């Protein structure tokens, strides 16, 4: 999707109105350290953040370091994350990732997107979450289902592939806004711009959104 002056102006309006609607938006996953956020983000795949936040207090207490995850019996780790769904794959990814952290980074989470995406179970979205939320590094725009859906409705992209959506957003939105933009879009998606029956009549961005595709839902 080509970037035009009109497109940048439209994106700037979206950014301003999101800031007014959600000035204090932050990540909804509970964490204290970069490792905890990494684990929570892996668990959040195909699972609500609320469910993840119920599981992680006990998980983080039981496994305080990457080495603890790396050496845990896999069956025990699977039981500990079972309620988040797809637990075998998630346990495998958490353990594989933490083993790599121990072997390559002395158990610490690296502050580099290329290093992060090379870890087991870590894609670009997860890497952007970790860098932006744990370290304050704007490496890109987190594109989850909410951000992708809202971006298309708002006319910020016409792409469906998350990588292409991210490229369109990075071209239109100032880098200093990348991290908080995703948090605010996710809040708006949960509160108003739902997949079915979006609440356009009361949405705080109603006057800026062209509502692309809404009429066909």
Residues 65-97 pLDDT 10s:
999 999 999 999 999 999 999 999 999 999 999
**Quick one: residue 22, left, alpha or beta (phi over 0 = left, psi -120 to 50 = alpha)?**
beta
**Residue where a domain terminates, one of 82, 102, 134:** 134
- Could you tell me what percent of the chain has a pLDDT over 70? 99
Nearest to 96 by CA among 119, 127, 128: 119
What pLDDT shows up at residue 4? 87
Domain CATH code at residue 195: 1.10.1670.10
pLDDT over 90 (residue 14): yes
Instruction: Tally the domains of the chain.
Output: 2
Domain CATH code at residue 84: 1.10.340.30
Kindly indicate the confidence band of residue 125, based on its pLDDT and cuts at 50, 70 and 90. very high
Q: How far is CA 161 from CA 7, 74, 119, 126, in A?
A: 20, 33, 22, 16
Cβ atoms of 141 and 166 within 8 Å: the answer is yes
Known catalytic residues are 125, 144
What pLDDT shows up at residue 1? 78
Nearest to 101 by CA among 31, 29, 27, 38: 38
Are 130 and 89 within one domain? Answer: yes
Kindly indicate the confidence band of residue 217, based on its pLDDT and cuts at 50, 70 and 90. very low
Q: What is the mean pLDDT of the chain?
A: 95
Are 40 and 125 within one domain? Answer: yes
- Could you tell me what percent of the chain has a pLDDT over 90? 94
- Could you say which DSSP state residue 162 is in? H
Tell me the average pLDDT across 112-135.
95
pTM listed for this prediction: 0.91
The domain in which residue 13 lies consists of: 5-26+141-216
Tell me the average pLDDT across 37-41.
97
């Amino acid at each position: 999707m080509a970037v035009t002056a009109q497109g940048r102006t439209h994106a700037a309006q979206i950014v301003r109105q999101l800031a007014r609607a959600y000035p204090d938006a932050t990540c909804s996953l509970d964490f204290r350290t970069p490792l905890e956020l990494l684990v929570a983000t892996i668990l959040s795949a195909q699972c609500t953040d609320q469910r993840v936040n119920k599981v992680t207090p006990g998980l983080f207490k039981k496994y305080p370091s990457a080495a603890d995850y790396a050496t845990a019996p896999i069956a025990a780790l699977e039981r500990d994350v079972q309620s988040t769904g797809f637990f075998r794959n998630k346990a495998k990814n958490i353990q594989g990732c933490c083993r790599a952290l121990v072997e390559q980074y002395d158990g610490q989470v690296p502050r580099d997107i290329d290093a992060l995406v090379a870890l087991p179970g870590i894609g670009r979205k997860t890497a952007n979450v970790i860098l932006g939320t744990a370290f304050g590094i704007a490496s890109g725009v987190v594109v989850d289902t909410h951000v992708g859906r809202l971006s298309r409705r708002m006319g910020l992209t016409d792409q469906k592939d998350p990588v292409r959506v991210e490229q369109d957003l990075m071209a239109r939105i100032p880098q200093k806004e990348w991290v908080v933009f995703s948090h605010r879009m996710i809040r708006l998606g949960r509160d108003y711009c739902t997949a079915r029956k979006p609440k356009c009549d009361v949405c705080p961005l109603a006057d800026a959104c062209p509502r692309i595709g809404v009429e066909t839902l």
